[in-house]
Amino acid sequence: MGTVIFPEWLNTIIRMVIPMGIILALAPVGMMYLTWLERKVIARIQDRVGPNRVGPYGLLQPLADGIKMLTKEDLVPEGADRLLHFLAPVLIVVPALFLFTLLPFGPGWVAAPLKTGLLFFVSIGSLGTLAIFMAGWGSRNKFSLLGAVRTAAQLIAYEVPLVLGLAVIPMITGTMDLGDIVLAQQGRWFITTPWGAAGFLILLTAGLAEVARTPFDLPEAESEIVAGFHTEYSGMKFALFYMAEFLSTLALAGLLSTLFLGGWWGPVFPGPLWMGLKTFLLICVMIWFRGTFPRFRMDQLMGFAWKVMLPVSLMNLLGAACWALIPGIGGDLMSLILVFGAFLITTQLWLAPKPQLTKKWSSRILEQP
C-alpha cells in the first residue's frame, strides 16, 4: 500500500472541479440563509420577532419560500420581448456565482487563482448592469424601463469610485492575485493603514451602491417606481433577481474582508473560519445599515458619486503613494490629510447652495416692454 499518485492532468482537473462544484452547491444555500438572517436581524431592529413558524427559529423559512416561489404562476406581459424577459434573470445570477470562484477562503483555498483576479472580479461583477437593462427593456413596462435606466445610471456612477478605490491594493502589494494580497497582510491588515481605512470606506459605500442595497436601493424604490426593473417578474424568475442580489452582497463582503480585513489571517482558529467570521460581520453591518438608514434621493445619489466619491478615491491613490514613498509617521499623516481634506472640501462644494443663474419669471415679465 502506497499513496495513490494521480497523473498530472487528473490532479489538475480534480483541483479545479471540486472547489467549483462546492461553490455551485453551497452558494444558493448561503444565499437562502442570508435571506433568513436578514429578516431575523431586521425584525429585531424593528422590535419584531421575524420568521419563527417554519422550523425552529424559522430556520426552514427559506425552504418554504423556495417552494412558494416554485408554485407561483410565471407571468410574461403582453407584447414583451420574451427572449430578453427570460434571459435577464438567468444572466444576472451567473456572474454573481462567478465572483465566488475568485475569493480565497483559506490558504490556497481558491477555485480560480488568477493572476489578474482583482480586475476579473470587477469586470465580472459589472456584467449585472446588462442583465438589469435587458429585464427593464424586455418587460415593456414603463416602470421597468424607468427603473432599468435609473439602475444603469447608478451602477455606472459608482463603478468609477469602486475601481479607483481598488487600485490602491495593487499599488502597495504589487499584485492583483487575491491570494497574494491576503498573504501581503500577514503582519498588518490593510484597514489599519490610513489609505486602507479610507479605501475600505470608499469600497463599502461604492459596493453597497453596486449591489443596490440600502441606502442606495433606488432601483427598487417602491414609493416611486413600484419595483423597478423587476416589476413584471413573478414566481421563480423574481426569486432569481433576489438570489443575484444576495449572492453579490455575500461576494462583496467576502471581497472586502479579503482586501482590507486580512482575509483568512487570524490567531488560534483555522483560516477559513476567520474568513467566514469577517464576511459574516460585514454582512451584519450591511443588514444594520438596511435597518437604520433612509434611502438617498436620486440627485443626491448621483451628486455624491461624481462630486465626492470620485475625487476622494483619486486622492486616496495619491495618499497611498505618499504612504509608500515617505517612511515613518510623515507618510501616515500625509495620506490622512489628503483623503480627509479631499472629503471635507468636496462635501462642502457638493452641498453648497447652487448659484441662481436664471432670473425669476416675475422679474423677467416686468422687464419686458
Q: Does 109 bind other proteins (CB under 8 A)?
A: no
Site for other proteins in 252-291 (CB under 8 A): none
Looking at residue 140, what DSSP letter applies?
T
For helices 235-259 and 128-139, angle between their N-to-C axes, nearest 10 degrees: 160
Measured CA distances, 308 to 137, 199, 314, 339 (Å): 31, 14, 10, 11
CB of 132 vs other proteins, minimal distance in Å: 15
State which residue, 72 or 364, has the beta carbon closest to other proteins: 72
Q: Does 116 bind other proteins (CB under 8 A)?
A: yes
Scanning 39-47, 113-121, 180-188, 331-339 for contacts with other proteins by CB under 8 A, the matching segment is 113-121
* 168-174 contacts at long range (C-beta below 8 A, 24 or more positions apart): 168/195, 168/196, 168/199, 168/316, 168/317, 168/320, 169/118, 169/199, 169/259, 170/118, 171/317, 171/320, 171/321, 171/324, 172/320, 172/323, 172/324
317 binds other proteins per the rule CB under 8 A: yes
x/- binding map, residues 213-242, to other proteins, per CB under 8 A? -------------x----xx--xxx-xx--
Nearest to 169 by CA among 183, 181, 159: 181
Q: Which is nearer to other proteins, 69 or 277 (CB)?
A: 69
Task: Kindly report the number of other CB atoms within 10 A of residue 52's CB atom.
Answer: 14
Q: Which stretch binds other proteins (CB under 8 A): 8-16, 32-40, 254-262, 281-289?
A: 8-16
Which of 265/296 has CB closer to other proteins? 296
How far is it, in rounded angstroms, from Cα 78 to Cα 90?
A: 21
Residues in contact with other proteins, total (CB under 8 A)?
87
Listed residue (124, 197, 122, 131) closest to 161, CA to CA:
122
Nearer to other proteins, 93 or 261 (CB): 93
Q: Which three three-digit cell numbers place residue 352?
A: 453648497
Least distance in angstroms from the C-beta of 18 to other proteins: 11
Q: Is 64 in the site for other proteins (CB under 8 A)?
A: no
Of the residues 22, 37, 119, 273, which one makes contact with other proteins according to CB under 8 A: 119
Whose cell is 445619489? That residue is 301
Least distance in Å: CB of 346 to other proteins? 10
Binding status of residue 310 toward other proteins by CB under 8 A: yes
Site for other proteins contains 20 (CB under 8 A): yes
* Binders in 348-367 for other proteins, by CB under 8 A: 354
Cell 461604492 belongs to residue: 206
Is 159 a binding residue for other proteins by CB under 8 A? The answer is yes
The number of angstroms, rounded, from the C-alpha of 211 to the middle of its chain's C-alpha atoms is: 4
Binding of residue 54 to other proteins (CB under 8 A)? no
- Binding segment toward other proteins, per CB under 8 A, in 106-114, 182-190, 214-222, 257-265: 106-114
